[in-house]
Structure 1
Amino acid sequence: MKFPKDFYKPVLMLAFLVFASCGTSKTNSGDLVADSQEARTTITQRYPDMADLFQNSHGYAIFPNAGKGAYIIGGASGNGAVYENGRLIGYADLKQVDIGLQAGGKAFVEVLFFQTQAAMNKFKEGTYELSGNVSAVILEEGVSRDVEFNDGIAVITMPKAGAMAGISVGGQRFSFQPLK
């Protein structure tokens, strides 16, 4: 497929803006923990079945203020708090790059649930990747779905704001920093 010459300049400019905006927007750890606790409360109030996942999973990483923007090339990022057996053990960063027929922007909450100690340990090794074929359960008002674990990890997302349309392929990368 051949694109017109005028096509590349706006796409490259948008790609630059998307990647530049995917940098870490660190808030202080107190704000991040408070936002994470608030997101967990919101999820469990709106979707009571999710309370079991928070209680019964070995651990979870919650990204309360993740954001994504895209125009053909997309990027997402967010900061999160990581809990093991109900106790805060560190922080994590989420980065995503994808490509496809997509446009728009959105804010969302994402939670990774770790079913086993082995899955939790793999995440805590420092850099963890989810491939593009791992599907997240998208929580929608009035809808409760069964969450399935794949290799000991389940992913849920809850939209917060924005509009996004399209089909894309990509993956997510996470880095973990333990509490000092």
Structure 2
Amino acid sequence: MKNILSLLSVTFVLIGLTFSNFAHADKYAKTVEDFRKAPEVQNFFQNAYGYAIYPTVGKGGIGIGAAYGAGRVYKGGIHTGDSTLSQLSIGFQLGGQAYSEIIFFKNKAAYDDFTSGTFEFSAQASAVAITVGANAQVGSTGNSAAAGNAGNRTAAKANYMNGMAIFTAAKGGLMYEAAIAGQAFSFDAK
């Protein structure tokens, strides 16, 4: 019972952090601007068919974890709809964190797949964690799309997998995990 109460407390705090960002009308533009500062994503911005951006994803857990974030989807720089990101994970995990996430779509097929209504990443999907800013660094986050510690710049190269490339940027918090996790997305056309 104590674990469930702790999990609920962490989850509500992180959801509160997520919703507090709604007060900033330009949060999407600011997050895109922050990601553009990282050299690792500049080529993706130039060549991608479109992208989905999630300014703040709140994640927390004690044994069982959850994450949530609200985002927008763009095609050719035009806002085409809204999206939500949700995640449920089971395994060793403790703590909470907030991060931003961007998903690039290589082509129309990948964009159409993501915007089909409900989309979920397969188990082999992975993200590249970056630190946005002038001296950005890269590190691989493994099999989940959670934010991780930045590592050596040469440690990971981002590539499209099934037409999508995923990047995360940690905003704050601390989380230890060795969990099986999968992100699911909804899409509502504008």
* Secondary structure at 1:148 match in 2: coil
Query: Taking structure 1 as reference, are residues 131 and 26 closer, same or farther at Cα in structure 2, changes over 3 Å only?
Result: farther
Higher Cα radius of gyration: 1
Q: Which residue of 1 aligns with 2:29?
A: 37
**Contact 2:120–2:182, Cα closer than 8 Å, also in 1:** yes
Query: Taking structure 1 as reference, are residues 95 and 164 closer, same or farther at Cα in structure 2, changes over 3 Å only?
Result: same
Which of 92, 98, 117 is equivalent to 2:83? 92
Aligned AA for 1:40? V
Aligned length: 168
Shift of 1:70: 0.9
In structure 1, C-alpha distance between the alignment counterparts of 2:102 and 2:129, rounded to whole Å: 11
Matched, 1:10 2:21: no
Query: Taking structure 1 as reference, are residues 161 and 101 closer, same or farther at Cα in structure 2, changes over 3 Å only?
Result: same
Which of 133, 142, 145 is equivalent to 2:137? 142
Matched, 1:65 2:60: no
Percent of residue pairs bearing the same amino acid type:
34
Shift of 1:25: 4.0
Q: Which residue of 1 aligns with 2:123?
A: 132
* Secondary structure at 2:39 match in 1: coil
Stretch deviating more after TM superposition (14-23 or 146-155): 14-23
Query: RMSD value over aligned CA atoms?
Result: 2.3
Q: For each residue in 1:9-45, what CA deviation from the matched residue of structure 2 results, as whole angstroms up to 9, or x when unmatched?
A: 12333455566676984976982xx212111111222
Matched, 1:50 2:45: no
Aligned AA for 1:133? Q
In structure 2, C-alpha distance between the alignment counterparts of 1:153 and 1:134, rounded to whole Å: 9
Q: Which residue of 2 aligns with 1:3?
A: none
In structure 2, C-alpha distance between the alignment counterparts of 1:131 and 1:22, rounded to whole Å: 25
Unaligned 5+ segments in structure 1 are 1-8
Matched, 1:152 2:144: no
Query: Taking structure 1 as reference, are residues 142 and 136 closer, same or farther at Cα in structure 2, changes over 3 Å only?
Result: closer
* Secondary structure at 2:73 match in 1: strand
Unaligned 5+ segments in structure 2 are 139-152
**Contact 1:67–1:108, Cα closer than 8 Å, also in 2:** yes
**Contact 1:22–1:75, Cα closer than 8 Å, also in 2:** no
In structure 2, C-alpha distance between the alignment counterparts of 1:76 and 1:130, rounded to whole Å: 14
In structure 2, C-alpha distance between the alignment counterparts of 1:16 and 1:101, rounded to whole Å: 17
Alignment of 1:19-34 (within 5 A): 25=19, 31=25, 34=26
